[in-house]
């Protein structure tokens, strides 16, 4: 349903505001203005968002909104919007609605005829994709893989048939297991692991599944990892 100003008359606006994925400088001027102007900010972790707001000397009421409290938070937030309050939705890092419960709030706001305005900015998925060196013209983002080996193998084999770049999140505690599975079923794949993007210890590792396993065998990786995988040989520039 397109945004209809007549339906939204008397109601507030829901702003979907992207925030930095690490480096606090990676926020737009528009995002800062919106955060200063709204009546309320809904965020995953108030401590994380307050750090950002304090850095930019912004003082606004915060309300926590995450997966475990969304059942009663969504009616509360929709109620505020219906009262005419303007609300900013942010995540701990990046763009809200990508593999987080922001989707359900957005969905409900659409049903209620509330105006929604996206304020674009940082995205870990896009950042990891463009720095991977793998084809970015046709890709698929799948969030998180299943937990069990059989389901992981089935999912990746199915996706590899699409002949697209595959992007997903992975835990540092499971990345070695996942790479071992990729090595077993897609040994010729090209893979990039990106972690701590835009932060002090930013790191991007590239290579075959076997190459990457050798690189991280005796290491303890920290931080959420974005895996970018291309299931076949990568086209190269021919000048």
* Residue in the structure block whose two tokens are 């009546």: 39
pLDDT for the residue numbered 71 = 85
- Give residues with Cβ within 8 angstroms of 208, minimum separation 6: 183, 187, 188, 189, 190, 191
Q: In the sheet that 165-170 helps form, which strands lie side by side, from edge to edge?
A: 139-144, 165-170, 225-230, 190-195, 203-207
Judge whether residue 6 has pLDDT over 70: no
Number of domains the chain is built from: 2
Q: 32 and 81 in one domain?
A: yes
| Domain end position, chosen among 119, 147, 173 | 119
110 plus 137 within the same structural domain: no
Which strand (E) or helix (H) includes residue 130?
helix 124-132
Q: Where among 68, 85, 119 does a domain terminate?
A: 119
Pick from 119, 143, 171: which residue ends a domain?
119
Q: C-alpha distances in angstroms, 60 versus 15, 43, 44, 76?
A: 15, 12, 15, 17
Q: In this predicted structure, what is the pLDDT of residue 3?
A: 44
Segment 46-50 mean pLDDT:
96
pLDDT in tens, 175-216: 999 999 999 999 999 999 999 999 999 999 999 999 999 999
Whether the predicted pLDDT of 55 surpasses 80 = yes
Q: What is the pLDDT of residue 50?
A: 97
pLDDT tens, position by position, 103-149: 999 999 999 999 999 999 999 999 999 999 999 999 999 999 999 99
> Residue 2 falls within a domain, yes or no?
no
Average predicted confidence (pLDDT) for the chain: 92
Does residue 8 sit within a domain? no
Q: What global pTM score does this model have? A: 0.89
Q: Read off the pLDDT of each residue in 39-46 and give the average, rounded to a whole number.
A: 96
The per-residue pLDDT for range 211-237, each reduced to its tens digit, is: 999 999 988 898 899 999 999 877 776
Tokens of 71: 């059942």
Q: Indicate which CATH number applies to the domain containing 188.
A: 3.30.950.10
User: Are residue 69 and residue 143 in the same domain, yes or no?
Assistant: no
Q: What is the domain extent for residue 167?
A: 124-230
In a domain, 7, yes or no: no
Query: Is residue 34 pLDDT above 70, yes or no?
Result: yes
- Kindly tell me the number of DSSP H helices and DSSP E strands found in the chain: 8, 10
Considering only CA atoms, which of 73, 103, 86, 8 is closest in space to residue 40?
86
Task: Check whether residue 197 and residue 214 sit in a common domain.
Answer: yes
Return the DSSP state at 69.
Answer: G
Strands, sheet with 62-64, edge to edge from the N-terminal-most edge strand: 62-64, 40-43, 87-89, 13-17, 115-119
- Report the CATH number at residue 70: 3.40.1010.10
Please report whether residue 223 resides in a domain. yes
């Amino acid at each position: 349903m397109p945004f209809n100003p007549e339906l939204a008359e008397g109601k507030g606006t829901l702003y979907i505001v992207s925030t930095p994925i690490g480096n606090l400088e990676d926020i737009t001027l528009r995002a800062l203005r919106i955060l200063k102007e709204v009546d309320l900010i809904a965020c995953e972790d108030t401590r994380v968002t307050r750090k950002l707001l304090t850095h930019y000397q912004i003082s606004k009421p915060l309300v926590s909104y995450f997966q475990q409290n969304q059942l009663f938070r969504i009616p509360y937030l929709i109620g505020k919007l219906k009262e005419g309050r303007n609300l900013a939705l942010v995540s701990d890092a990046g763009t809200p609605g990508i593999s987080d419960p922001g989707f359900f709030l957005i969905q409900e706001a659409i049903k209620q005829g509330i105006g929604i305005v996206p304020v674009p900015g940082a995205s870990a998925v896009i950042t990891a994709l463009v720095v991977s060196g793998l084809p970015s013209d046709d890709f698929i983002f799948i969030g998180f893989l299943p937990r069990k080996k059989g389901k992981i193998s089935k999912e990746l084999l199915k996706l590899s048939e699409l002949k697209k770049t595959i992007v997903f999140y992975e835990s540092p505690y499971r990345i070695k297991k996942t790479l071992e599975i990729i090595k077993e079923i897609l040994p010729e794949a090209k893979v990039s692991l990106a972690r701590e993007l835009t932060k002090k210890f930013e790191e991007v590792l590239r290579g075959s599944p076997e190459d990457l396993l050798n690189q991280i065998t005796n290491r303890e990786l920290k931080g959420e990892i974005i895996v970018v995988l291309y299931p076949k040989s990568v086209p190269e520039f021919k000048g």
